[in-house]
Amino acid sequence: MNGAKPDPITLAVTRGALHQIADEMDLHLIHAAISPIISEMHDCAHGIYDAATGETIAQGGYGLPMFLANMQYTIQNLLSHVAAEGGFQPGDIWIVNDPYLSGSHLQDVTLVAPYFVDGEIFALLANTGHWMDVGGSVPGGWAPQAREIHQEGIIIPPLRLFKRGVRNEEVVRLILANLRLPEQIAGDLAAMTQVFHVGERGLADLIGRYGTRTVRACVEEMMERSERQMRDHIAGIPDGTYRFVDHFDNDGIVDAPLAVEFALSVDGTNMHLDFTGTSPAAIGPLNMAETTTRSLAFVALKHLFPDVPVNGGTFRPIHFEVPEGCMLAARYPAPVCGYTDVINRVIDVVFGALAQAIPEITPAAPFGTTGVTTVSGRRDDGSYYVAVFPYPGGYGASAQGDGLVNGTLPSSLAGFMSVEMSEHRFPLRFENLAIREDSSGPGRHRGGCGTTYEITALKDCLVSVLGDRVDHAPFGISGGGSAEPNRVRFHSGSREWEPEMRSKAEKVPLAPGDSVRLWSPGGGGFGDPRTRDLDAVERDLDQGIVTPECAEAVYGAVVERETNLAGAPRYRLDRAASRRRRSGTART
């Protein structure tokens, strides 16, 4: 402890300055990186961390949400390795991409640098950036058939990339020799190390103004206040244990469901998240390291309490039990590159449990599958292309209102390709891109609809799909219904067929005229659909979002008459008869 509490003005200014430093680090890498996945998709994160505890002091606001707490846990995992090798020295930069320590997948490479003031360590600066290739059996690193991590790429254990200011060129050569895009990634690596100067300059300014004692006191005060703020939120949740179970369809190799068992306990101002009972690691790559499981749980909580700041204090009241070796705490050598779909279910089960406790702010399940659709082949001029179309989908409804249509993943901010641009660049044709009618989870507030699109091949190509949520639809809460589940169909010649693993298929060949059609899930509903406002039901009918059959059977509405405008049906509900039908049902 550093004695006196900081004055409120210095506290406000210091907090702003620390966030500004982290934001500036984000923007510098986004600007300087060569790989578009960093410069355009912002697949990176930066922050300032406590040197002793690894706790987050500040993290930039431009990186992806999924790194929210991942950075802190990565650094905490790194600390013992560093200590065993003599601790941090001025000018060192450590590097790691071992997913069992640093989470997510091999492509996310983390650098950590100590910041010293007058010979004493003050804080750690860290960043994570997505490398476009890490070797392995498949370019880009996503290997759907991987059965162990070595098929996914090169593992970098915690190593000193810089020792007292000098880069270890031999380590760099060894790493780059194992990658398919060595020049591009050498550039990204240089950009990632340069970003530390931005952070160092910012910290030097701040400490020059207030001194280390005051800045440290502000950091402690910020953490304590964030902790109090998080504890206040938790105290507002009724004590108890809330259980929820959800599933994955299969791991893409063995057709058997995988369970995520979850119990969320609230005891005063503490929260305990227990994943005991979750399926053991899958044979295929549908696994995830514990670091990322924890981070995703915080992403879910941050969606519910967006006002809590991102620092170590926020994470203190939350305790985890993730059994080692289960699919959410995978151990070497389990493959993890399918974590892109696993992340969704962590968010789903947190929502599913908390909906029992605080339904007033918890949304129903969002569409819940990353559903990466990859098309590859050759253009007329012989050049090779890879086109990636990730799933959009519906968000769950909440007490506040209907769910959003065409949302992006809750853990991401990445967008969808333009149809016109795709048709310019790839020999593909979109038959449609539309709201998936009659797919929302019904409720007093209904979920957002899914999205449907059909892609026709103009030349021979290969299509891979990695999705989920076919057998287990996104759930509703507080009496709301489930959304329509995921659906994938191929059309080859005159034959229409579903992949054996439903929404997982690898390298399906399409001939010209063949197509793949996808229907992404909607979001779950909130509340009893028979209490939905009748004007809203009428509007949903006119907009084609629900069918008249559904309006009558599920929403308890009585359609009085149907007209049409230019072929589009228009409905008028009989308000009185609808109310009679709804109350009649209530009596029986």
Partner 1 sequence: MENIVGIDVGGTFTDLYYADDEGCRTTTKVPSNPRDPSAALIHALQASDVDPAATALIVHGTTIATNAIIERKGARAALITTRGFRDILELGRRDRPTMYGLGGVQQPLIPRDLRFEVDERLDARGEVLRPLHRDEVLALGTALANEGIEAVVVCFLHAYANPAHEQAAARWLAELDAGFEIVTSHSVCNEYFEFERTSTAAIQGFLQPLVAGYARRLRERLDEGGYRSEALIMQSSGGVVPLDQVAARAANIVRSGPAAGVMAATRLAGEAGFDNIITGDMGGTSFDVAVVVDGTPKVARASRLDFRVILKLPMIDVHTIGAGGGSIAGLDGAGILQVGPESAGADPGPACYGRGGTAPTVTDANVVLGRIDWARPIGAGDQEALDLEAARAAIGDLGKCLDLGVEETAEAILRVVNHTMAGRTRLLSIEQGLDPRDFTFVCFGGAGPLHGAAIMRDVGISRLLVPPEPGVLCATGCCIADIRHDVSRTVERPLGELGDGELDDMLDELRRTGEAHLTASRQQDVTPDVSYTADLCYFGQIHNLRVAIERGWSAERLGGAFEAAYRAEFGNTLADVPATLVSVQAVVSAPPPGRVVRSPGDVVARPATPARRRPVHFGAWLDTAIYDRRALEPGMSFAGPAVVEQADTTTIVEPGMRASVDGFGNLQVEANS
Residues 331-390 touching partner 1, rule: CB under 8 A, are 363, 366, 385, 390
Give the DSSP H/E element, type plus range, for residue 271.
strand 270-274
Taking the complex as a whole, the smallest distance from the CB of residue 12 to partner 1 amounts, in Å, to 4
Burial of residue 157 (number of CB atoms within 10 Å: 0-12, 13-18, 19+): exposed
- What's the min distance (Å) between Cβ of 317 and partner 1? 14
Among 98, 249, 341, 402, binds partner 1 (CB under 8 A): 402
Task: Pick the binder of partner 1 from 368, 377, 407, 527 (CB under 8 A).
Answer: 407
Nearest-approach distance from CB 306 to partner 1, in angstroms: 4
Residue 194 sits at φ, ψ, to 5 deg, of -65, -30
Work out which of 120, 307, 324, 380 binds partner 1, going by CB under 8 A. 307
Residues 6+ apart with CB under 8 A from 94: 78, 82, 111, 112, 113, 158, 159, 160, 161
Binders of partner 1 in range 194-223 (CB under 8 A): 222
Print burial letters for 571-582: b (CB count within 10 Å at least 16), e (below 16): bebeeeebeebb
Q: Contacting partner 1 (CB under 8 A), which of 140, 368, 396, 524?
A: 396
> What is the enclosing helix (H) or strand (E) of 530?
none
Site for partner 1 in 308-327 (CB under 8 A): 308-309
Residue 27 vs 253, nearer CB to partner 1: 27
Span from 77-85, 263-271, 464-472, 566-574 in contact with partner 1 (CB under 8 A): 566-574
Is 469 a residue that touches partner 1 (CB under 8 A)? no
Question: Taking CB under 8 A as the criterion, which residues in 447-466 touch partner 1?
Answer: 451
Is residue 428 a contact partner of residue 456, using CB atoms and an 8 Å limit?
yes
Length of the chain: 588
Shortest distance in whole angstroms from residue 35 CB to partner 1: 11
Strands 270-274, 318-321: pairing kind: parallel
* Identity of the residue, 384 or 587, whose beta carbon is nearer to partner 1 in the bound complex: 384
Least distance to partner 1, CB of residue 424, Å: 5
Query: In angstroms, what is the minimal distance from the CB of 280 to partner 1?
Result: 31
Map residues 516-555 to x or -, x wherever contact with partner 1 holds by CB under 8 A.
-----------------------x--xxxx----------
Considering the complex, what minimum distance in angstroms separates the CB of residue 276 from partner 1? 27
Within 479-518, the residues that bind partner 1 by CB under 8 A are: none
Which CB sits closer to partner 1, 138 or 414?
A: 414
Q: How far is the CB of 20 from partner 1 (least distance, A)?
A: 5
Q: Minimum distance between the CB of residue 270 and partner 1, rounded to whole angstroms? A: 19
Give the torsion sign (CA, 169, 175, 180, 181). Answer: negative
Whether 168 contacts 353, CB under 8 Å: no
Query: Is residue 415 part of the contact set for partner 1 (CB under 8 A)?
Result: yes
Judged by CB under 8 A, the stretch of 122-130, 322-330, 338-346, 398-406 that binds partner 1 is 398-406
- Closest contact distance (angstroms) between CB of 236 and partner 1 is 12
Report the alpha-carbon distance of residue 74 to residue 43 in Å, rounded.
16
| Strand residues in 504-566 grouped as ranges (E) | 504-510, 515-519, 559-565
What is the per-residue DSSP string for 376-408? EEE-TTS-EEEEEEPPPBPPPPBTTBPPPSSBP
Contact between 519 and 487 (Cβ < 8 Å):
yes
Question: Is 276 or 400 the residue whose CB approaches partner 1 more closely?
Answer: 400
Which string of DSSP letters, residue by residue, matches 430-461?
EEEEEE-TT-SPPSSBPPPP-EEEEEEESS-E
Is the CB of residue 127 less than 8 Å from the CB of residue 78?
A: no
Q: Which amino acid is at 163?
A: K
6 or 485, CB closer to partner 1? 6
User: In whole angstroms, how far apart are CA 308 and each of 225, 304, 347, 557?
Assistant: 10, 10, 17, 41
Task: Find the binding residues for partner 1 in span 424-443 (CB under 8 A).
Answer: 424-425, 429-435
Find the binding residues for partner 1 in span 126-185 (CB under 8 A).
none
Least separation in angstroms between CB 229 and partner 1: 5
The residues in 10-39 that bind partner 1, with binding defined as CB under 8 A, are 11-13, 15-17, 20, 23-24, 27-28, 31-32, 34, 36, 39
CB neighbours (10 Å) of residue 463? 25
Which residues, 223 to 242, sit near partner 1 by CB under 8 A?
225-226, 228-229, 232
Which residue in the block uniquely carries the two structure tokens 């949903």? 540
Kindly state whether residue 572 participates in binding partner 1, applying the rule CB under 8 A: no
Taking the complex as a whole, how short is the minimal distance between the CB of residue 159 and partner 1, in angstroms? 26
- Give me the amino acid identity at 147: R
Contacts of residue 585, defined as CB under 8 A and 6 or more positions apart, other chains included, come to 530, 556
Of 252 and 366, the one with the shorter C-beta distance to partner 1 is 366
CB 10 within 8 A of CB 210: yes
Q: Which of 160, 303, 504, 530 binds partner 1 (CB under 8 A)?
A: 303
- The interface region with partner 1, picked from 3-11, 158-166, 287-295, 578-586 by CB under 8 A, is 3-11
CB 319 within 8 A of CB 273: yes
Q: How far is the CB of 505 from partner 1 (least distance, A)?
A: 22
